[in-house]
Chain A
Amino acid sequence: MAKAKSGPLARRPDNSAFKQQRLPAWSPMLTANTVLPFFYFMAVICLLLGIWLLLTVQSVQEIRMDYTDSGACAHCHDLRKNVSNAALICTCKLYFHVDRPLKGDVFFYYGLQNFHQNLRRYMDSRDDAQMVGRKTNLKKPSSYCKPFATNDKGLPIAPCGAVANSIFNDSFKFQYLGSGSSDEPVPLWRKGISWYTDKNIKYRNPQMDNLSLAEVFHGTAPPPYWHRPVYELQTHDAINNGFINEDLIVWMREAAFPNFKKLYGILQRTNKPFESGLPKGNYSVEITYNFPVQYFRGRKQVVLTTLNWFGGPNKFLPIAYLITSCLVLLAAIGLTVVCKE
């Protein structure tokens, strides 16, 4: 590398643009001519976005019903106060009326409030290696799952951990009471409610090797709060059973906030009268009330909503844009005044 240079300028530094700091440079500068138009432009953009989003949001309909201890569900609520009654089945019915038909796709959510799925210890309490179907992890769950890694008898729990153990296990029967004649069940898609990557990559059942799912899970115990083992979650549909049961997958995707809703089903718009959404009329939801919330002062909800392209009745986004636009505009005007002086 060492170049053998000689002569009086031997030690002269190289004359390269980099070494002499002569690289071509663009030197932007905050001037009134650049900053003020930018501010006005931003204000206008935010304003337009805000108005558009607001208009979009207007068309969204949402029905939100708290059933924690209301009406018919009150007795279930009381029943669940006592742990010893956990095995007892309790159902209750929720009636409601839809004044305006919900047009387009209608989504059925269950909502939980004050449930801290975002607790660090809670979120860690799972074993993704087990749920991706690794047989070694099936029998030897990660220590992060403690105290839900093994049951009293020392059997490994599958799926292990606090997250799976606390799965939301209320189930809903959605019925259309029509204009009063007969109860017609509202058909819901109970599949396709989870992320594609979750369903197809992240959660896998262990390899079957010509065994049944129950045999594969032999030697494991269900989580303590579960009524039935994981391989019986959806017995009649093999691709919605075990670890790839979509209700389980949806639950396993932890919410970031203590108040959240999770997708339960999507309205099937194949048959009448649901082709264009939920028609006007009376509906009922029959709830199998299993999930106790009184321990943590939580609330349970059923949410029915139509969607626009950015989600449900999300008023915050358009309003935030409108406010931002106003503030930027004010700042721009202020700056203009200051500048002109």
Chain B
Amino acid sequence: MNVRVGDIIKLENNQFVAADLLLLSSSEPHGLCYIETAELDGETNMKVRQSVSVTSELGDPNNLAQFNGEVVCEPPNNKLDRFRGMLYWREKKYTLTNQNMLLRGCVLRNTEACYGLVIFAGPDTKLMQNSGRTKFKRTSIDRLMNTLVLWIFAFLVCMGIVLAVGNAVWEREVGTLFQHYLPWDPSVNGFLFSAVRTFWSYVIILNTVVPISLYVSVEVIRLGHSYFINWDQLMFCSKCNTAAEARTTTLSEELGQVEYIFSDKTGTLTQNIMSFKKCSINGHSYGEVADPLGPQPKRLDFTPFNLLADPDFCFYDDTLLESVKVGDSHTQEFFRLLSLCHTIMSEEKSEGELVYKAQSPDESALVTAARNFGFVFRSRTLGTITTTEMGRTVTYTLLAILDFNNARKRMSVIVRNPEGRIRLYCKGADTVLLQRLRPCKQDLINITSDHLNEYAADGLRTLALAYRDLTEEQWEMWSESHQCADKEEDLLSAAYEQIEQDMTLLGGTAIEDKLQEGVPETIALLSLANIKTWIVTGDKQETAVNIGYSCKMLTDDMTQVFIISGHSVQRVKQELRRAREQMIALSQTKDGEREEVVEGCGEVCFMKFKGAGKQSQCPPSNRMDNISGDFALIINGHSLAHALEADMEEEFITTACACKAVICCRVTPLQKAQVVELVKKYKRAVTLAIGDGANDVSMIKSAHIGVGISGQEGIQAVLASDYSFSQFRFLQRLLLDVPDQRSLEYPKLYEPGQFNLLFNKKEFFICIAQGIYTSVVLFFVPYAILANASQSNGEPLTDYQTFAVTTATALVIVVSVQISLDTGFWTIFNHVFVWGSLGCYFTIMFAVHSQTLFSSFPNHFHFVGSAQSTLLQPVVWLTIALATVICIVPVLAFRFLKLDLKPQLSDTIRHTQLMCEKKRRPAGGRLASTWRSAGSVSEGRLGARGGSRRSGYAFAHQEGFGELITSGKNMRLSSLALASFASRHSSSWIDTLRRKKHAHTPPSASGECTPALSHSSSVLGCSQEAPTEVETVQDSRMIPTTSTSVEASEDLREGAVSTGSPSVAEKTAQKE
């Protein structure tokens, strides 16, 4: 597709937005459309966008084709939450803001179709602006190799110089004497010139010491690795029919050195599916699976009970269904609350076929649960909610929606049931809600709160539910005060506060933000391998923390969890400092205990590995390196913006690296990359970033290794990644592979790679030293022996050709033996190649020394007959044997000593496994069992439910949707016809949406946004010229509720009550 700026493109439901679009019109009323931005910023809730109202009427393609407006806007930038522009059309100006924009990477949801004008395309899109620069990734081995090759080259030059000097000396002392037999070349007039020539000759002759072929070999090996990754069946996901894919062939060995993993949350750790798991009703907990190891309980079948049930809904505890069936009033009220208290829109395509359009997946899960348990939310109008309760259709009058916001952490609805009773239903965080209950029934409160804690400890997202009966007078009174409070946020929440009191607890719900398969296990395993996992997400703090708990990164028995959420540099600095001080203080007390424990157990291995820790490069606090204890750091995007400033970086990184778990929430894509860069810069560690969405692209690109989750909708991340597979858990296989089963069992085996113990400069020089030793032996042993040896017929073996064949054969044999020693696994290929190379050597040698070749090219193959005459001599074989023994025995002894005195973990494990196999005795695995028990201990600890109380509250909801509903903006015309209720501050819902959003974005990102807020009214007002007019209309509308509704019914064509007037005004203006 060739999308260009200025094109108008049509998007259909569930399609990806292909470029940054200005929303022109949509199939929904008022040019509204819904988008999911999980790909873009990781937030799970739905967002609403609205077109400028003039364009929203350009319904069909013909009209759109006539559209000839001009858009003037800011240059392309990476601010995802901000857009400023101006639409000039028909000699009028309309202000454009982010609310009119559909950004590339979003997915259109709950909207049949919409049309948009391309504002930015291709690399100019905000998504691409956020994705950072593509860098050529190279591994540290590549870099090390480059250094080493330079050194080797220097060594070569040195050798050349030494040999040239040697040549000069020799030519002066001896060569001159030899002139008689061997005159110098005519061009050579002295030993000095001969030396210069010798230098270059040696540089050329000895160029083989520069291991240029090493690059090729390494590349070939990596290519092989990447094929093995592609071929791995255990990294194949049958569900999405996706195999792992190594998209680059140059990074394989880096996989063995990863120290930090940066993981996205949505779609990577989680499946982005919410499911209703458990609930506590009137002190009774439902949904518990009795025995996790027992047979999988049967999934409940709701169809016989409820025709409207959602067939995809899963629930296993049939006692809850029984309770509903017998008509338990608490249970019924519980589900009634769930079916009423929400901001979902429903759509009934055909009878019984309900589709819920939810802003947050949590709500959808809750309402679906209610639906299956017989309380079916059918439809809503401005002032009513129609449900089917146990097969009976009931219509409630919706009196008010007390909208959700992050400070209140709850939402309520006030409804009047058909009998005329007014009731307030409230759902929200237990911490908030439990304080607002009627102080009786303390037992129930305690039990429910215990249940919620239990759920929270299981990593479920909890909400507490409560209701309050209101008398007509109370409602009237509050309604008035509420109206007065209008728009003033503080007053409004005070008004809400006022009525959300004295509630009666109904129970609590627990929703599972479904993790991908095996995520906690993978993270636990990786952390045993000393790999630190950081969650970096654009989602809210609560949801991120909740996921942190459910994937066992955070546990209740962590020493301390620090939350950094300051809004200013000073504040963040302070918070970080305090965290560090506490860590040091706490770890000192803890260290004392721990050392005793370790000594007591006598687990030598643990001590060893503790000692192996490398010195960090962070200068300010050496003490920070030795911090023990489980700390966690949670940092918000706006604080992170400060923490990433140049002078704070170090402070942040020391604090963060001392923590076991780090969660960064509400971060922008660019910040993700910055965090990765920061760790790369300060820790010099190999980093891996894993993500699925377009918002992870920058992070994936900047990490040493980028992993994309494939098999999902988006492919942006996959395209930018180096490796891709479909499940987070495959990460453990990718990192801890060869030999797979062993390294998965002993993740500690991963550590040598991180510390670069297997190939570093020291190892390199050991190899060089060994090489020099070997070459000395290989020259002087044959020299000393052959100088005095003869064939049996008296012909001496001193000749050059015999010596050459002997030395070369000895070399090949020594190298083969050395390779055999280095080979850990003798598969058929190893045999073929080791024996094959020996065979090849002899074959080629005999061929080159053959009569045939000699008779064709006598000057080139003048070794004729050397091979057979040399290799037939027993003394030659004695020489080779001696040289081999002298070369190999020290290596063998050295290795054995190292193995015996300083065994690597891998050696020990190999040893124990060997013993086990040999003796078939389980007792052989002393160390193995140590490790295994260590693993299980930590597993056990992870799973333990701590004593500390913690709220599992997390809700992917955004403020403003209550207003959206009460304003009726998103109602279809049919439902509006019944409208008899209007909200007071209806036109401002979208302002609220935006305002709330801004309040939560990092100041750095939205710093310039504040002035833009002054134009907020023009979003709906459309015309810059008449803001005052719009304001006055709004003001006038505020006074009598009834009159507005009348007006609305008169002007049904305009669709909505609240904005009816400005639309009319505008329409007339256009006509004029």
Contact = CB atoms under 8 A, between A and B. Distances in A.
A297 interface: yes
A49 B878 contact: yes
B882 A262 contact: no
Interface stretch (B453-461, B645-653, B679-687, B819-827): B819-827
A121 interface: yes
Interface in A23-71: 23-32, 35, 38-39, 42, 46, 49, 53
Contact of B796 (A21, A23, A263): A263
Contact of A12 (B238, B859, B910): B238
Contacts of A107: 790, 794
Contact of B901 (A121, A123, A338): A338
A116 B788 contact: no
Interface in B788-832: 788-804, 824-830
B864 interface: yes
B47 to A, nearest CB: 34
Nearest to B194: A121
B900 A197 contact: no
Given A123-B800, A339-B900, A165 B181 contact: yes
A116 B174 contact: yes
A313 interface: yes
A314 B789 CA distance: 6
B258 to A, nearest CB: 20
B886 interface: yes
Main SS of the interface on chain B? helix
Contacts of B892: 30, 35, 38-39
B230 interface: yes
Nearest to A319: B784
Contacts of A15: 233
Contact of B797 (A116, A266, A311): A311
A165 B791 CA distance: 27
Interface centre among B242, B858, B862 (most CB of A within 10 A): B858
A198 B865 contact: yes
Contact of B241 (A10, A196, A198, A296): A10
B719 interface: no
Contacts of B228: 19, 21
A134 interface: yes
A10 B177 CA distance: 79
Contacts of A166: 181-182
Contact of A335 (B829, B896, B914): B896
Nearest to B889: A328
B475 interface: no
A212 interface: no
Q: Which of B178, B180, B830, B901 has the most CB of A within 10 A?
A: B178
Contacts of A109: 796
B787 A259 contact: yes
B862 A39 contact: no
A9 B241 CA distance: 6
Contact of B859 (A24, A142, A331): A142
A157 B146 CA distance: 52
Contact of A128 (B238, B242, B788, B859): B859
A279 interface: no
B874 interface: yes
Contact of A30 (B828, B829, B869, B895): B895
Given A13-B233, A195-B865, A260 B900 contact: no
B798 A25 contact: no
A206 to B, nearest CB: 13
Contacts of A9: 238, 241
A92 to B, nearest CB: 22
A29 B236 contact: no
A208 B371 CA distance: 113
A30 B896 contact: yes
B796 A13 contact: no
Contacts of B233: 12-13, 15, 19-20
A261 B790 CA distance: 10
A321 B790 contact: no
Contact of B789 (A31, A116, A198, A312): A312
A8 B243 CA distance: 12
Given A256-B786, A310-B789, A331-B889, A25 B827 contact: yes
Interface in B181-224: 181-183, 185-186
Given A29-B910, A314-B785, A296 B174 contact: yes
B911 A29 contact: yes
A314 B879 CA distance: 12
A29 B914 contact: yes
B1047 interface: no
Given A29-B911, A195-B865, A324-B886, A201 B799 contact: no
Most buried by A among B177, B796, B874: B796
6 contacts: A19-B233, A256-B804, A295-B177, A312-B790, A320-B781, A321-B878
Closest 8 CB pairs of A and B: A197-B865, A311-B789, A311-B790, A310-B875, A19-B231, A256-B803, A25-B825, A26-B826
Interface of A: 8-15, 19-21, 23-32, 35, 38-39, 42, 46, 49, 53, 105, 107, 109, 116-119, 121-123, 125, 127-129, 131-132, 134, 142, 144, 147, 162, 165-166, 192-198, 201-202, 250, 253-257, 259-263, 266, 292, 295-297, 307, 309-317, 320-321, 324, 327-328, 331, 334-335, 338-339
Given A9-B238, A12-B241, A256-B786, 8 more contacts: A116-B178, A197-B865, A263-B795, A266-B793, A296-B177, A311-B797, A314-B785, A314-B788
